[in-house]
Structure 1
Amino acid sequence: MSTLGVDEERDDLSRDENRTIRGRSVRLLGSLVRPMRGLVGLTATVILVSTVAQVLGPALIAYGIDTGLPAMLENDWLPLGVTVGAYLATGVLGAVLIAWYTVLTARLSQSMLLDLRKRMFLHTQRLSLEFHESYTSGRIISRQTSDLESIKELLGSGLNQLVQGGLYMLFIAGMLFVVDWVSGLILLGSLVPLWFLSRWFQKNSQRMFRRTRVASARMIVQFVETMTGIRAVQAFRKERRNEAEFGELVENNRDTNAKVIQLFGTFDPVLILIGNVTLAVVLLVGGLRVADGSLPIGVLLAALLYTRNFFAPAEEMAMFYNSYQSAAAALEKISGVLDELPGVPDPAKPVDLWEAKGAVDFDNVRFAYTPERVILPSFSLEVPAGQTIALVGTTGAGKSTLAKLMARFYDPSEGAVRLDGIDLRNLHPKDLRRAIVMVTQEAYLFSGTVADNIALGKPGASLEEIQEAAMAVGAHEFITSLPDGYGTDVNKRGGRVSAGQRQLISFARAFLANPAVLILDEATASLDIPSERLVQQGLQTLLAHRTAIIIAHRLSTVAIADRVLVMEHGRIVEDGSPAELIAGDGRFSRMHAAWRDSLV
């Protein structure tokens, strides 16, 4: 089962859970960096040389003051000239290398983001239906938008702050010890309160940034679900309730971000105070040493410049930690999705089935969504090739679950589902999807033309093949009446065509796919009577010469079946032809009589 709820909803994770999540994130980051080791090495070299060039400035100033100026007074301009030339050269070199480094880091970050976006998209497509039924679309969108934006910010400006600031501080500390070890010791002493401040900030910000990610994700989920279900929202006048719920989420997001700002409101002033106190001590001790002649004035100036410059990037480093925490929390969520394993894995040694006949066999199948929720306790069924079976029964009897098992959207907990004697778990995925096609009530149409949507059943199909499929199921007439015929854009989710027309397009798609087994899961449930009659005509052609499983509450659809199975609580309680069961006195006979009376 999925463990995503841990990452999504909790911010009080245990130490072991935090360690596991961090390890997962580090592995993901390593896998993104590994293919670009050469670019990373070049970038590191460029920033290293650039930082050295920048750090040499105060030392050159000290040399110019203490050596170049006295020599100039004796008409020796060479030391000062060399110092000025070296200072200008290091400045130009540093500027050029920073520009190069900026370009390199941009290439690096964009390459990593491209890889991560593609991984997310491809992996979520491969994950089984179980994942998508439990992981809301809003959370997936949050992973692909706000979370990736946080990582983009880190890899872009945040990484620059870390590398430049961190190396700059390290090299400055080293040069300060070279120039004046006493001032270096003073700076070293200031690292003690700086370390405690950083640890305090790290612990508190890590917890708070995880809360901001959760708050942001919940807000996105609420927004996406409201906009996706806007018809239901307006139909049931849910606007006020949504306003209250969304308002609460927005306020929670504001409060969590306000607490993060409060952290910086404490961190920044204390950091500045530590820097100013350290600079004052260096000036005091250095000034006394200059006064007694033990320290040249140029060295004191260099020490003061190095001390001030040491703390200058510290605030940027804190801002980097802001980006880092946000990106780290985002990386945790993304790595959690990428760490999910498909509930229906591809077989290690797939069996090919080039030409399926369509015989389906359920052998002692047991299925449970959870240990407490058993849908099929023990189910066996043989469907000969070419037979049309109708599954009827009350809601929750297990009909749709049976269809999902047959289409291998789920695997049975026990037992096996076989096609032509081959366990579906061993069948090659391309052969499985070619042999078994499922048409659902939703009849989802993608953005694009009518022809594009029908061609999903057979990528690369010619227009003639598409038209033949539409004619076979009775869809050609209405398609040609559309503004651009087969080239008409169906608009978002098929909004330009009616429910019955969408269903006919989905039937044409299935006909073009030419599967050995066709599953119709409530395919006519949302249609009115005229639309249903139109679709029924298409069904006659669609079901001919293939194995078909029809799940329907409307018994008018059942009439075209060779065999009817009545299900209750995951078991078959009646099995026979429609005429036989209607003539009897069982459940189906009573259902049929009630349905017939409802038409009067």
Structure 2
Amino acid sequence: MTVLDTDTASPAAEPQAGDIPLDDWRGVAAEKADEISAGGGLFLRARSRRLLGSLLRPHRRALAWASCLIIVVTGAEMAGPYLVSVGIDSGIPAIRRGDWAPVGAAVSGILVTALAGSLLRLRFLKLAGRIGQDVVYDLRGRVFRQFQRLPIAFHERYTSGRVISRLTNDLDALGELVNASLDGLINAILNVAVIGVVLAVLDPGLSLFLLICLPALFLLLRWYTRGSRVAYRRTRETIAALIVHFVETLNGIRAVHAFRREPRNDAIFHELSADYKRANADAMRLMAWLMPGIKAIGAVMTAAVLIFGGFQVMDHALEVGVLTAYLLYLRRFFDPLQDLAMFYNSYQSATAALEKLSGVLEEEAGVPEPRQPVQLPRPVRGELRFEAVRFAYPRREQQSADGAAHPEKIVLPELDLTIPAGQTVALVGATGAGKSTLARLMCRFYDPDAGVARLDGIDLRDLGDGDLRSAVVMVTQENFLFTGTVADNIRFGRPDATDAQVEQAARAIGAHQFIAALPDGYATDVKKRGGRLSAGQRQLVAFARAFLADPAVLVLDEATSSLDVPSERLVQRALRTILAERTALIIAHRLSTVEIADRVLVMEGGRVVEDGAPAQLLGAATGRFVDMHSAWVDSLA
């Protein structure tokens, strides 16, 4: 099955910009934030751990090597203060004796460890950056492939704004974490752990001051993490509202201009932007208290160690070099704590992003690929059969005021229908009669809840995607064209087609004349969504696309509903060419399209209530098709 003209966005799934009060936008934001903030806690959920494991598994050796490098780098950096103490306590007395070797050794050690640490850190940063970019590259590809693989039903409920957010904001959050923040985290953890041990070894007595300060540090960090979690959620809520409003405004820009909603939308945007500004200001206030707080505790600790240690030096209970090294290490102990606080913000954002992405990647296909696909016999004849098909659109459970669940609306109660190979069938009926649902089942956008839909006697659920795509093609009223040339859009369903085959398809449909008149002919860029072409021209390109794909079954879903009369006549001529020698389902409100059908099915409430050739149904004295035809003729008067 191939869908050639379906719009990839689904703007109708979200509220239209400017049509709801400002306070309701904040309600929309809260709902979005629940999904956006998922996974923002301290520990990863199971599915996020599975995703992270699968992303890191190919880089096990590189990660092990990076871990060794950062350990060695930390060791080299930690050696500096110790060598300073050796130079002071051993080198200076030796100089008085005329022996410069201890000082030379200490200075050489400091230079060598500094140079080695810098070179190894450079190597670590390059390696970590490569791993991070590979992980993000892999994840970006997985998410894009998954969005393409998931069925139309998923995209009808998963809005375009959320799709964009997954592929941009969430991947950026992960990229920031793996490319920058992880280095700071690893370095901070190792520094705090190693320095804590070194301080205890250098002088246990002085380390009592550190134990006294640790509760104050713990309380400060705990206050910050709790407050930042609230502030973080608030910023996510406000940015969610901003994104929703922005995307919906641009998706509905024609309606915005038509109804002069610019001032109202602008007022909503500025208020939401102000909310986001205030939320970020609150987060920055927390950081403004945290950094000076850590520095203040560190300064108090340093002053206490300096005073107490100074008295010990005067009493010859402590060497000057040891006190100097202790003070140098103590400074390095407090600086990484600020890095840990900064990492916590990035970590929250990244875990939330990872949870959302893992949710998308674990989304089950509503129409899964069969484990052992059955091959369609060649050539494909195109016989369609629906056997006791029952279907209701899936939806989220909704509760009424009394708490009772709303019953699910059944669109097709129990349909039995056979369409012989090569027959052109027109489906007519009121909106909601089940016409488009029947076409979607035939294209396997959905699977029946009960019963079987068959192509040439084979259950569609047993056909592989490749077979189905090549055999069944749908053309919709959107006649969606992608940015690129006319030729590229015609060969969309058959990328290996030659230029001659593309032109042959266009000539067969009747599109060659207007294409040749374009500035660059078949190489003319159609611009965004085919905006360079008229609606009728876009439809002819879509038909040429379908003709070139050469399916056994063609489904036309309201393919002429948006055309004016002259354009419709052009398309009608093209239809006679494209429908020849293939099975076709035509869904149309304009009964002019029905005239080319071999058979008409009048649907009502998901059932076929009239079935026959157009002339046969019109020849009846009464009937639904007669009434519809009369109403259509009156509308033309």
TM over 0.5: yes
Q: Residues 202 and 263 (structure 1 numbering): CA distance in 2 closer, same or farther, change over 3 Å?
A: same
Give the deviation of 1:476 after TM superposition: 1.0
1:168 aligned residue: 191
Residue 535 (str. 1) matches residue 571 (str. 2): yes
Give the deviation of 1:329 after TM superposition: 2.0
SS in 2 for 1:385: coil
Q: Distance in 2 between matches of 1:129 and 1:121?
A: 15
SS in 1 for 2:410: strand
SS in 1 for 2:462: coil
1:590 aligned residue: 627
1:33 aligned residue: 56
Q: 1:393 aligns with which of 429, 433, 447?
A: 429
Q: 1:343 aligns with which of 366, 369, 373?
A: 366
Paired letter, 1:422 = I
Q: Residues 419 and 379 (structure 1 numbering): CA distance in 2 closer, same or farther, change over 3 Å?
A: same
Give the deviation of 1:157 after TM superposition: 1.7
Q: Distance in 2 between matches of 1:115 and 1:207?
A: 32
1:55-134 equivalence runs, <5 A: 55-134=78-157
1:417 aligned residue: 453
Paired letter, 1:580 = Q
Give the deviation of 1:477 after TM superposition: 1.0
1:520 aligned residue: 556
Paired letter, 1:501 = Q
Q: 2:182 aligns with which of 138, 155, 159?
A: 159
Q: 2:272 aligns with which of 225, 229, 249?
A: 249
Q: Residues 112 and 285 (structure 1 numbering): CA distance in 2 closer, same or farther, change over 3 Å?
A: same
2:442 aligned residue: 406
Deviation readout 1:216-266 (Å, 9 max, x if unpaired): 243223222322332222122222332233233323322332222222133
Decide which moves more: 206-215 or 558-567: 206-215
Residue 362 (str. 1) matches residue 386 (str. 2): yes
Paired letter, 1:304 = L
Decide which moves more: 318-327 or 201-210: 201-210
Q: Residues 312 and 214 (structure 1 numbering): CA distance in 2 closer, same or farther, change over 3 Å?
A: same
Q: Distance in 1 between matches of 2:280 and 2:68?
A: 37
Give the deviation of 1:472 after TM superposition: 1.2
Equivalent residues, number: 597
Paired letter, 2:255 = A
Q: Distance in 2 between matches of 1:189 and 1:400?
A: 73
Q: Distance in 2 between matches of 1:9 and 1:294?
A: 59
Q: Distance in 1 between matches of 2:124 and 2:47?
A: 29
1:435 aligned residue: 471
Paired letter, 2:456 = D
SS in 1 for 2:386: strand
Q: 2:294 aligns with which of 271, 274, 292?
A: 271
2:309 aligned residue: 286
2:217 aligned residue: 194
Residue 556 (str. 1) matches residue 592 (str. 2): yes
Give the deviation of 1:160 after TM superposition: 1.5
Q: Distance in 1 between matches of 2:409 and 2:211?
A: 63
Deviation readout 1:290-321 (Å, 9 max, x if unpaired): 22221111111111111111001211221122
SS in 1 for 2:433: coil
Deviation readout 1:518-538 (Å, 9 max, x if unpaired): 000000000000000000000
Decide which moves more: 198-207 or 159-168: 198-207
Q: Distance in 1 between matches of 2:223 and 2:447?
A: 49
Paired letter, 1:528 = D
SS in 2 for 1:415: strand
Whether the 8 Å CA contact 2:33–2:233 is kept in 1: the answer is no
Q: Distance in 2 between matches of 1:290 and 1:467?
A: 94
1:375 aligned residue: 411
Q: Residues 409 and 155 (structure 1 numbering): CA distance in 2 closer, same or farther, change over 3 Å?
A: same
Q: Distance in 2 between matches of 1:298 and 1:354?
A: 88
Deviation readout 1:14-39 (Å, 9 max, x if unpaired): 99x96996332222222211111111
Deviation readout 1:471-524 (Å, 9 max, x if unpaired): 111111111111111111111110111100000010011111111110000000
Q: Distance in 2 between matches of 1:265 and 1:587?
A: 74
SS in 1 for 2:392: strand
Residue 307 (str. 1) matches residue 330 (str. 2): yes
Q: Distance in 2 between matches of 1:364 and 1:69?
A: 98
Q: Distance in 1 between matches of 2:92 and 2:437?
A: 89
Deviation readout 1:559-578 (Å, 9 max, x if unpaired): 11111111122122211111
Q: Distance in 2 between matches of 1:555 and 1:19?
A: 61
Q: 2:501 aligns with which of 459, 462, 465?
A: 465
Q: Residues 103 and 516 (structure 1 numbering): CA distance in 2 closer, same or farther, change over 3 Å?
A: same
Decide which moves more: 317-326 or 501-510: 317-326
Q: Residues 245 and 378 (structure 1 numbering): CA distance in 2 closer, same or farther, change over 3 Å?
A: farther
Q: Distance in 2 between matches of 1:537 and 1:367?
A: 35
Whether the 8 Å CA contact 1:518–1:543 is kept in 2: the answer is yes
Whether the 8 Å CA contact 1:353–1:428 is kept in 2: the answer is no
Whether the 8 Å CA contact 1:376–1:398 is kept in 2: the answer is yes
Q: Distance in 1 between matches of 2:498 and 2:326?
A: 78
SS in 2 for 1:497: coil
1:487 aligned residue: 523
Paired letter, 2:611 = D
Q: Which 5+ residue runs of structure 2 have no aligned equivalent?
A: 1-12, 14-28, 396-406
Whether the 8 Å CA contact 1:43–1:104 is kept in 2: the answer is yes
Decide which moves more: 422-431 or 234-243: 234-243
Q: Distance in 2 between matches of 1:469 and 1:431?
A: 22
Q: Distance in 2 between matches of 1:565 and 1:217?
A: 46
SS in 1 for 2:556: strand
Structure scoring higher RCO (CA < 8 A, sep ≥ 6) equals 2
Decide which moves more: 507-516 or 173-182: 173-182
Q: Distance in 1 between matches of 2:212 and 2:374?
A: 69
Decide which moves more: 47-56 or 258-267: 258-267
Q: Which 5+ residue runs of structure 1 have no aligned equivalent?
A: none
Whether the 8 Å CA contact 1:205–1:325 is kept in 2: the answer is no
SS in 2 for 1:559: helix
Q: Distance in 1 between matches of 2:488 and 2:413?
A: 41
Q: Distance in 2 between matches of 1:481 and 1:415?
A: 50
- TM-score, normalised relative to structure 2: 0.90
Whether the 8 Å CA contact 1:209–1:329 is kept in 2: the answer is no
Q: Distance in 2 between matches of 1:215 and 1:547?
A: 52
Q: Distance in 2 between matches of 1:128 and 1:156?
A: 34
Q: Distance in 1 between matches of 2:146 and 2:165?
A: 15
Paired letter, 1:599 = L
Q: Residues 32 and 11 (structure 1 numbering): CA distance in 2 closer, same or farther, change over 3 Å?
A: closer
